[in-house]
A and B are shown apart, each in its own frame.
Chain A
Amino acid sequence: MVNPEAKLSPDVFDADKLQMMPTRDGYGAGLIIAGEKNKNVVVLCADLTESTRSEAFSKRYPERFFECGVAEQNMATIAAGLGVSGKIPFISSYATFSPGRNYEQIRTTIAYNDSNVKIAGHHAGISVGPDGATHQATEDIAIMRAIPNMKVIVPCDAIEAKKATVAAAKIWGPVYLRFQREKSPVFTTEKTPFTPGKAEIFWESRKPQVLIVGCGALLHNALLAARELDEKWDISSVVLNVHTIKPLDEEKIVALAKKTGAVVTVEEHQISGGLGGAVAETLSRRAPVPMEFVGMKNTFGESGLPPQLLEKYGMGVKDIIWATKKTIRKK
Chain B
Amino acid sequence: MNLFAIFARIRYIRATLKMEALHEKKLKHLEEIANRLRQDVIEMVSRAGSGHIAGPLGLADIVAAFYFHVLNHNPKKPQWENRDRLVLSNGHVCPVFYAALARAGYFHVDELKTLRQINSRLQGHPHRGVLPGLETTSGPLGSGISQAIGMALAAKLDGKKHRIYCVTSDGEHQEGNTWEGIMFAGKNKLSNLTVVVDRNNIQIDGFTENIMPLEPFRQKYEAFNWHVLEIDGHNIEHFVDAVAEAKAIHEKPTVIIAHTIPGKGVDFMENDYLWHSKPFKSGEAETALKELRTLRGKIRSEHQ
Query: Which A residues form the contact surface with B (CB < 8 A)?
Result: 45, 47-51, 67-71, 73-74, 96-97, 100-101, 129-135, 302-305, 308-309, 312
Known contacts being A132-B127, A132-B139, A302-B118, is A70 close to B50, with CB within 8 Å? Answer: no
Contact A67 B124 (CB under 8 A): no
B117 at the A/B interface (Cβ < 8 Å)? Answer: yes
Q: With an 8 A cutoff between CB atoms, is B48 at the interface?
A: yes
Known: A47-B204, A70-B142, A70-B175. 12 other contacts (CB 8 A): A45-B205, A47-B205, A67-B205, A69-B174, A100-B140, A131-B139, A132-B123, A132-B125, A132-B139, A134-B123, A134-B124, A308-B118
Which of chain A's residues have a CB closer than 8 A to the CB of B205? Answer: 45, 47-50, 67
> Closest residue of chain B to A128, judged by CB?
B124
Q: For the complex, what is the distance from the CA of A324 to the CA of B51, rounded to whole Å?
A: 38
Inter-subunit contact B203/A47 (CB<8 Å): yes
* Cβ contact within 8 Å between B140 and A302: no
Residue of A nearest to B140 (CB): A134
Bound together, the chains give a CA A312 to CA B117 distance in angstroms of 13
Chain A residues with CB below 8 A from B117, complex form = 130, 303-304
Given A47-B203, A48-B205, the answer on whether A303 and B118 have CB atoms closer than 8 Å is: yes
6 contacts between A and B (CB under 8 A): A50-B204, A97-B140, A130-B50, A131-B116, A302-B123, A304-B119
Contact of A134 among B138, B204, B211 (CB under 8 A): B138
Q: Does B40 contact A (CB under 8 A)?
A: no
Interface residues of B (CB under 8 A from A): 48-51, 91, 116-120, 122-125, 127, 137-142, 171-172, 174-176, 203-205, 211-212
- Asked if B176 contacts A132 (CB within 8 A), the reply is no
Residues of A close to B171: CB separation below 8 A: 47, 69-70
List A contacts of B139 (CB < 8 A): 131-132, 134-135
Contact: A48 with B204, CB < 8 Å? Answer: yes
Residues in B with CB closer than 8 Å to A130 are 48-51, 116-117, 124
In whole angstroms, how far apart are the Cα atoms of A32 and B174 in the complex?
28
Residues of A within 8 A of B212 (CB): 47, 67-71
Report the bound CA distance from A74 to B211 in whole Å.
14
Contact A71 B175 (CB under 8 A): yes
Contacts of B48 in A (CB 8 A): 130
Chain A residues with Cβ under 8 A from B122's Cβ? Answer: 303
- Cβ distance B246 to chain A, nearest Cβ, rounded Å: 26
State A291–B40 Cα separation when bound (angstroms).
Answer: 49
Q: Is the CB of B118 within 8 A of A96?
A: no
Closest-by-CB residue of B relative to A94 is B140
- CB neighbours (8 Å) of A73 from chain B are 176
B172 contacts across to A, CB distance below 8 A: 70
Q: Provided the pairs A70-B141, A309-B118 are in contact, do residues A303 and B211 lie with their beta carbons within 8 angstroms?
A: no
A52 to chain B, nearest CB (A): 11
A312 touches which one: B116, B118, B124, B176 (CB < 8 A)?
B118
Asked if B211 and A135 make an inter-chain contact with CB atoms under 8 angstroms apart, the answer reads no
The 4 closest A-B pairs by CB, nearest first: A69-B212, A304-B118, A134-B139, A132-B124
Bound state CA distance, A101 and B118, in angstroms?
Answer: 26
B145 to chain A, nearest CB (A): 14
